[in-house]
Amino acid sequence: MKIALAQLDYHIGNFAENTASIVLAIEKARQMDAELVVFSELSVCGYPPLDLLERKEFVQNCLDEIQKIAKVCDTIAAIIGGPSFNTASEGKMLFNSAFFLYGGEIMQVVNKSLLPTYDIFDEYRYFEPNRIFNIVKFKDLKIALTICEDLWDDQPVEMDFARGRLYTRHPLEELSKSDPDIVINIAASPFSHTRKEIKRGIFTKKAKKHHLPVLYVNQVGAQTQLIFEGGSMAVDKDGKIISQLDYFSPEIKLIDTSELDGHKSPVNIIEPSRIEMVHNALVTGIKGYFSKMNFSSAVLGLSGGIDSAITLVLAARALGSDNVHALLLPSGFSSSHSVTDSEKLAKKLGVSYDIIGIEEIFKLFNKQLSPIFKDREWDVTEENIQSRIRSVLLMAYSNKLGHILLNTSNKSEAAVGYGTLYGDMSGGLAVLGDVYKTDVYELADFINEEEEIIPLNIITKPPSAELRPDQKDSDSLPEYEVLDKVLEEYIEHQKSVHEISLLGFDEALVSRIIRLVNMNEYKRYQTPPILRISSKAFGGGRRIPIVAKY
């Protein structure tokens, strides 16, 4: 049988656009002589719809659109993801479902069994888990139809005090009792640079274990902070990847099930490097956020530092140079090369820019505050005033000209509170908020791989906020190579001070870093949406109480 894998980009709640994209893909699949076309999880409404699922009319809109799509499926079958009502008298109101469409109608509905409730996932908030396992029969093919997490049942509990697997139910083991010919998994699996190999291993190991071919369909594009890389694939019954779709790009690909019997050689996949995947994910995230919010242009403060330089490059690549503007906002403490380096980068990218010095404004602030501050010594207050002046100017530009302000803070800074509320933490979207500083440097090296785009002086000079004389980040923070390793162990791997110190780090230093992370939770609650590229980004996937004493 010829099966088309339709890897598309959806827009949450945009039913007209989503349905049009799905119908167009069905027609293309028909022209490719496909008998079945497969779409991703909750494709009709986009993933994740969150509390929109609590609105009855939203769910009914989903079902109405699926009926429209079913009418197109006369001589070709389709698998569509969407919510369905739970008609039982007990349990949650909805199921997360896969609809099998053929002959102009809904032939069968399969519900998701394993509902992830960790990190950014909270599906049990909305859905009832499936407990009845039936295969889908289509022509001569018996399909074990699964939805995303249904194949992730073997993953371990990611806490050092817990043992064993996360789930007690194993959908494919139940479905295997009906002797299926193939496994189809529809998914909405967000990108994480730390879990790419784990994700691939899920499908290859399942195929090999059950001696069944696996077809996996993921979505692409971005939904607020979540980025989806696609990477849909066909795996033969021996666990070899026979075909894989592009990363971060919509695509429809035809798979012949006769090639999944174990006799075809695996495809030679040239995998992008980890840092290239991060780069492409961030570009996708910016592009998706702006297009789906009907934003067209961006502004950012270009400081002469590496974070704003990387953000400018990514924005220019996502939106086009003509749609990005930079403001250079030097203070009396800014070095001369901070301005010249910034100008050089903007000109290299073809990005427009303006220079507005903040020194005179800063003097006026100090003059007005001097009767209140009296003879108190200079401290972080004056540093923050400069940062907030810059924010006011950037937001004024945003308001007047309609450009969305991009935040340029990195994850290392956000973790330890090295940023000013209503100052450099302002913005409509945080581009690097899930990128540690050491990876920011790797991004710079990747961007400059073929030619010098970011001036080398920006990359090689010591990081500095330039808010007081001769200031350097290392005055108050450990070197980023050390800081980032400690942060990753604490934030991503949930390790304690003692456990991290056993890895070779000074225990007093680890304690200081973790104290900074914990005491700055209140700041992170007020940041813009952060593009997520790891398995533990700040934001909805990391829920820490602000007022906790821990």
CATH number of the domain to which 319 belongs: 3.40.50.620
Check: CB of residue 84 under 8 Å from CB of residue 127.
no
Is the residue at 413 inside a domain?
A: yes
Last residue of a domain, one of 259, 292, 311: 259
Same domain (yes/no): 255, 282: no
- Counted residue by residue, the chain has a size of 550
Residues designated as active site: 41, 112, 148
Check: CB of residue 423 under 8 Å from CB of residue 353.
no
Same domain (yes/no): 282, 134: no
Is the residue at 83 inside a domain?
A: yes
Last residue of a domain, one of 454, 475, 496: 475
Same domain (yes/no): 348, 208: no
Same domain (yes/no): 383, 255: no
3-state secondary structure at position 3? strand
Range 180-212 burial, b when 16+ CB lie within 10 A, else e? bbbbbbbbbbbbbbebbeebbebbbebbbebeb
Looking at the structure of the chain, the number of domains it has is 2
Same domain (yes/no): 202, 321: no
Same domain (yes/no): 212, 318: no
**Domain limits for position 455:** 278-475
Residue 256, burial from CB neighbour count under 10 angstroms (0-12, 13-18, 19+): middle
Same domain (yes/no): 320, 389: yes
Cβ-defined contacts of 516-519 (< 8 Å, 24+): 516/415, 516/416, 516/417, 517/415, 517/416, 517/487, 517/490, 517/491, 518/544, 518/548, 518/550, 519/417
Same domain (yes/no): 175, 283: no
Contacts of residue 368, defined as CB under 8 A and 6 or more positions apart, other chains included, come to none
Is the residue at 359 inside a domain?
A: yes
Task: Supply 189's token pair.
Answer: 């699996």
The predicted structure's pLDDT at residue 423: 94
Same domain (yes/no): 29, 148: yes
Specify the CATH number for the domain of residue 144.
3.60.110.10
Same domain (yes/no): 288, 247: no
**How far apart (Å, rounded) are the C-alpha atoms in residues 505 and 116?**
34
Last residue of a domain, one of 229, 259, 289: 259
Alpha-carbon dihedral of residues 527, 528, 529, 535, nearest 10 degrees?
A: -30
Same domain (yes/no): 289, 246: no
Same domain (yes/no): 309, 166: no
Check: CB of residue 22 under 8 Å from CB of residue 272.
no
The predicted structure's pLDDT at residue 540: 86
Tens place of pLDDT for every residue, the chain, 550 residues?
A: 999 999 999 999 999 999 999 999 999 999 999 999 999 999 999 999 999 999 999 999 999 999 999 999 999 999 999 999 999 999 999 999 999 999 999 999 999 999 999 899 999 999 999 999 999 999 999 999 999 999 998 876 655 555 567 888 899 999 999 999 999 999 999 999 988 888 899 999 999 999 999 999 999 999 999 999 999 999 999 999 999 999 999 999 999 999 999 888 888 888 999 999 999 999 999 999 999 999 999 999 999 999 999 999 999 999 999 999 999 999 887 777 889 999 999 999 999 999 999 999 999 999 999 999 998 999 999 999 999 999 999 999 999 999 999 999 999 999 999 999 999 999 999 999 999 999 999 999 999 999 999 999 999 987 776 666 766 766 778 999 999 999 999 999 999 999 999 999 999 999 999 999 999 999 999 999 999 999 999 998 888 888 887 7
The predicted structure's pLDDT at residue 162: 55
